[in-house]
């Protein structure tokens, strides 16, 4: 019979379960990267013993990085195990873990984690996340935990994100159909969670407050100098870049990025309560957040400063009124900024953001930026040297060399640099940050090189682009900056509704690709009627009408097989889409080179 023991080492409380010899044959310890241990089933699917009191079950820190996943178990078995498995830590290890986090904060770039008593909004609250595995939700969960909340969460399936959350001490459960809501003070639900979800219904029956992701993020901005990064494209890159620049400049920001960025320690961070350096030292600490327009969620933000990078038609399953409704939504977002006497400032693209309509009637200060000579902040770029500059009122403000490809990333960089000046960062530190930023995950990310059986190699890249403008910008940047012999694009359309509404635009966006391979459309947020309205075959037919070499190959495995057949020395293969299309690149790289057939797709 297992007995709970506490081991103290280096002044830190670390929990573990000591088991007798009989249990050791069926279970083993998992030692986490922070030095914690947790008892976990190695080969069965039984629930770990939970603390007797419900509040202990939700307030403790969960230590398993993958919800009881034994790292020697196969991925298939692990996912099967996670379908119903939960793992809990009790309250007894909380103090030691909190001390460890506090001591580690200065060493691992996670900022200053306020204690529960110092955070007026979330400190000491038990917060349960529904859909905790999403990029924004997971970042918010980590941020609230570091601000003193006692965080738990659930998701439908295992992922590496949940692995990281477990390693960071967040109690996580995996269940495709969860029915048991732990004791909590607040529930935060992903935008993908429907009103009839059983945990939402349980929360309402108990009288527990329920917030969606954006509403919770808005509360995080309370008491901070909030900076919201909005626009149809470039939000994650610009948010990550601004966070990196501010860290480099000693501003010590809090942030939430809707993507992973290893250069800044992941997707979230808790910074100081006051700006520690620069011309605004002593002002409320900076909170940088990505602001998504879907479902008008960015209307819940409470920023002092904001960026609107660009505006195009997207999320037309929600914005049924088309572009006019989208522009009106961005205007309402900008109207939430304080007036200029209270420091409210909006930075908006001079071109491509419907600037005049979006800024009509605003009380905040408004500045434009872009390549146009009439922009308030003029951006210039030399494609050969990759040197960029921003001038303001005829005087040079910033100059740096960009590591990122594409004109669109020059504008992203410029926006981040301008916003950094607005919070008092020093010029030299801003330029250093812009010059050293390497990008966020899944944004033209090099996955590796594939040795070919016929000789030579092919490069493989991954990109998140799933809108026609993003596809065109990425392929254009690859062609200009990486100069492949042939450019092979594997593109998975994301949503039937988006594909149907923008089918003609998609057909025009692959002009820089030599070959286009299209799997089935990724089904998300669509109705059965949407799914019947358009197919990947329709996109391929449109591409062929324009003379493109394009093929619809329904399955990922089929595309991997086709890449084996057609790849040539000097090819660059880019897998694109917001769904799991990156798995095609991973699987193709993992295959041993086999004799090619020499056929064309």
For the stretch 189-210, pLDDT in tens is 988 788 889 899 999 999 999 9
Mean pLDDT of 527-541: 90
Using alpha carbons, select from 188, 121, 140, 233 the residue that is nearest to residue 471.
233
Average pLDDT over the chain reads 79
- Pair (351, 430) in one structural domain: yes
Span 477-523, pLDDT tens digits: 999 889 999 999 999 999 998 899 899 999 999 999 999 999 999 99
- Pair (193, 113) in one structural domain: yes
- Say if 28 falls within a structural domain: no
In this predicted structure, the answer to whether residue 55 has a pLDDT above a threshold of 60 is no
Q: Is the entire prediction scored with pTM above 0.85?
A: no
Q: Which residues pair with 173 in a beta bridge?
A: 86, 154
Give pLDDT, residue 95.
Answer: 39
- Vertex 157: Cα angle to 66 and 229 (nearest 5): 90
- Pair (309, 198) in one structural domain: no
- Pair (239, 327) in one structural domain: yes
- Say if 27 falls within a structural domain: no
- Say if 371 falls within a structural domain: yes
Which of the residue ranges 49-58, 350-359, 536-545 would you say has the lowest mean pLDDT?
A: 49-58
- Pair (426, 479) in one structural domain: no
- Tell me how far apart the alpha carbons of residues 322 and 14 are, in angstroms, rounded to a whole number: 54
- Say if 266 falls within a structural domain: yes
Domain final residue pick, 201, 216, 231: 216
In this predicted structure, the answer to whether residue 377 has a pLDDT above a threshold of 60 is yes
- Pair (245, 379) in one structural domain: yes
Percentage above 90 pLDDT, the chain: 52
Give pLDDT, residue 120.
Answer: 66
Mean pLDDT of 283-311: 92
pLDDT band for 420, please (50, 70, 90 cuts).
very high
Q: Do residues 242 and 288 lie in contact, with contact meaning Cβ atoms separated by under 8 Å?
A: yes
- Tell me how far apart the alpha carbons of residues 354 and 356 are, in angstroms, rounded to a whole number: 6
Give 473-511 as a DSSP string.
HHHHHHHHHT--SEEEEEE--B-HHHHHHTHHHHHTTTT
- Say if 584 falls within a structural domain: yes
Number of domains making up the chain: 3
- Pair (290, 355) in one structural domain: yes
- Pair (227, 145) in one structural domain: no
- Say if 601 falls within a structural domain: no
Span 261-271, pLDDT tens digits: 888 888 888 88
Span 465-490, pLDDT tens digits: 898 998 999 999 999 889 999 999 99
Residue 409, CA distances (Å) to 15, 147, 323, 381, 438 in order: 46, 32, 24, 11, 11
- Pair (175, 234) in one structural domain: no
Sign of torsion, CA 419 424 428 430? negative
Mean pLDDT of 321-338: 95
In sequence order, which residues have a C-beta less than 8 Å from that of residue 54 and are 6 or more positions away?
A: 182, 183
Domain limits for position 247: 221-436
Q: How many residues does the chain have?
A: 601
Helices (H), 172-307: 198-206, 213-220, 235-248
pLDDT band for 459, please (50, 70, 90 cuts).
very high
- Tell me how far apart the alpha carbons of residues 209 and 200 are, in angstroms, rounded to a whole number: 10
In sequence order, which residues have a C-beta less than 8 Å from that of residue 115 and are 6 or more positions away?
A: 98, 123, 148
Q: Do residues 199 and 154 lie in contact, with contact meaning Cβ atoms separated by under 8 Å?
A: yes
**596 — alpha (psi -120 to 50), left (phi > 0) or beta?**
beta
- Pair (147, 260) in one structural domain: no
Our CA dihedral for 261, 263, 269, 274, rounded to 10 degrees, sits at -130
- Say if 47 falls within a structural domain: yes
Give 35-60 as a DSSP string.
S-EEEEESS--PPPPPPSSHHHHHHS
In sequence order, which residues have a C-beta less than 8 Å from that of residue 481 and are 6 or more positions away?
A: 405, 406
State which H helix or E strand residue 308 sits in: strand 305-308
- Say if 599 falls within a structural domain: no
Residue 228 sits in a domain whose CATH number is 3.40.1190.10
Domain final residue pick, 419, 436, 453: 436
- Tell me how far apart the alpha carbons of residues 562 and 55 are, in angstroms, rounded to a whole number: 54
Give 386-426 as a DSSP string.
TEEEEEETTEEEEEEE--S-SHHHHHHHHHHHHHHHHTT--
Span 217-238, pLDDT tens digits: 999 898 899 999 999 988 999 9
| Helix, coil or strand: residue 590 | helix
Span 151-163, pLDDT tens digits: 999 998 887 888 8
Residue 206 sits in a domain whose CATH number is 3.40.50.720
Q: Do residues 220 and 121 lie in contact, with contact meaning Cβ atoms separated by under 8 Å?
A: yes
- Pair (236, 304) in one structural domain: yes
Please name the residue that has the structure tokens 């506490």: 6
Query: Distance between terminal CA atoms of the chain?
Result: 61
Mean pLDDT of 110-139: 71
Give pLDDT, residue 118.
Answer: 52
Neighbour tally for 451: CB within 10 Å: 12
pLDDT band for 421, please (50, 70, 90 cuts).
very high
Mean pLDDT of 17-44: 32
pLDDT band for 141, please (50, 70, 90 cuts).
very high
Give pLDDT, residue 229.
Answer: 96
- Residue ranges of E strands in 434-584: 445-451, 457-463, 486-491, 515-518, 549-552, 571-576
Span 3-19, pLDDT tens digits: 333 333 333 333 333 33
Domain final residue pick, 216, 234, 261: 216
- Tell me how far apart the alpha carbons of residues 272 and 112 are, in angstroms, rounded to a whole number: 6
Our CA dihedral for 154, 160, 164, 166, rounded to 10 degrees, sits at 40
- Pair (319, 240) in one structural domain: yes
Give pLDDT, residue 119.
Answer: 64
In this predicted structure, the answer to whether residue 447 has a pLDDT above a threshold of 70 is yes
């Amino acid at each position: 019979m297992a007995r709970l023991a506490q081991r103290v080492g280096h002044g830190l409380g670390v929990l573990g379960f000591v088991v007798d010899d009989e249990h050791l044959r069926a279970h083993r310890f998992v030692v986490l990267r922070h030095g914690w241990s947790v008892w976990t089933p190695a080969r069965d699917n039984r629930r770990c013993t939970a603390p007797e009191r419900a509040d202990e079950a939700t307030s403790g820190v969960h230590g398993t990085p993958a919800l009881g996943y034994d790292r020697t178990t196969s991925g298939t078995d692990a996912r099967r195990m996670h379908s119903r498995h939960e793992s809990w830590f009790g309250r007894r290890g909380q103090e030691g873990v909190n001390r460890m986090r506090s001591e580690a904060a200065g060493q691992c770039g996670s900022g200053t984690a306020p204690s529960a008593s110092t955070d007026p909004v979330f400190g000491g609250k038990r917060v349960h996340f529904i859909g905790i595995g999403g990029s924004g939700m997971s970042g918010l969960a980590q941020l609230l935990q570091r601000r003193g909340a006692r965080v738990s969460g659930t998701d439908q399936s295992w992922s590496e994100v949940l692995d990281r959350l477990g390693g960071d001490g967040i109690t996580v459960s995996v269940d495709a159909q969860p029915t048991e809501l732990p004791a909590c003070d607040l529930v935060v639900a992903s935008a993908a969670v429907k009103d009839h979800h059983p945990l939402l219904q349980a929360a309402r029956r108990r009288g527990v407050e329920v917030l969606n992701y954006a509403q919770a993020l808005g509360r995080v901005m309370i008491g901070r100098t909030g900076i919201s990064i909005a626009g149809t494209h470039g939000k994650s890159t610009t948010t990550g870049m601004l966070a990196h620049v501010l860290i480099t400049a000693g501003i010590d920001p809090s942030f939430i990025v809707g993507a992973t960025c290893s250069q800044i320690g992941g997707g979230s961070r808790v910074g100081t309560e006051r700006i520690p350096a620069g011309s605004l030292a002593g002002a409320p600490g900076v909170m940088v957040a990505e602001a998504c327009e879907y479902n008008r969620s960015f209307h819940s933000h409470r920023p002092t400063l904001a960026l609107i990078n660009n505006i195009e038609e997207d999320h037309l399953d929600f914005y049924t009124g088309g572009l006019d409704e989208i522009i009106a939504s961005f205007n309402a977002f900008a109207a939430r900024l304080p007036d200029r006497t209270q420091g409210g400032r909006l930075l908006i693209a001079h071109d491509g953001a419907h600037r005049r309509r979006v800024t009509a009637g605003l009380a905040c200060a408004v500045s434009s930026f872009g390549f146009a000579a009439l922009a308030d902040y003029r951006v210039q770029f030399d494609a050969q040297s990759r040197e960029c500059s921003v001038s303001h009122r005829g005087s040079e403000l910033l100059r740096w060399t960009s590591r990122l490809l594409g004109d669109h990333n020059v504008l992203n960089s410029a926006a981040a640099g301008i916003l950094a000046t607005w919070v008092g960062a020093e010029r030299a530190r801003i330029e250093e940050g812009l010059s050293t930023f390497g990008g966020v995950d899944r944004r033209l990310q090099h996955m590796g090189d594939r040795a070919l059986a016929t000789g030579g190699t092919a490069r493989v890249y991954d990109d998140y682009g799933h809108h026609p403008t993003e596809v065109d910008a990425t392929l254009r940047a690859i062609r200009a900056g990486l100069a492949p012999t042939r450019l092979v694009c594997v593109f998975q359309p994301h949503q039937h509704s988006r594909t149907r509404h923008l089918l003609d635009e998609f057909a025009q966006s692959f002009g820089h690709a030599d070959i286009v391979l299209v799997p089935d459309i990724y089904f998300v947020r669509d109705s059965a009627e949407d799914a019947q309205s358009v197919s990947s075959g329709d996109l391929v037919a449109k591409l062929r009408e324009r003379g493109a070499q394009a093929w619809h190959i329904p399955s990922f495995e089929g595309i991997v097989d086709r890449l084996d057949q057609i790849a040539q020395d000097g090819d660059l293969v880019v897998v694109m889409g917001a769904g799991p299309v990156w798995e095609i690149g991973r699987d193709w790289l993992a295959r041993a080179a086999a004799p090619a057939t020499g056929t064309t797709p």
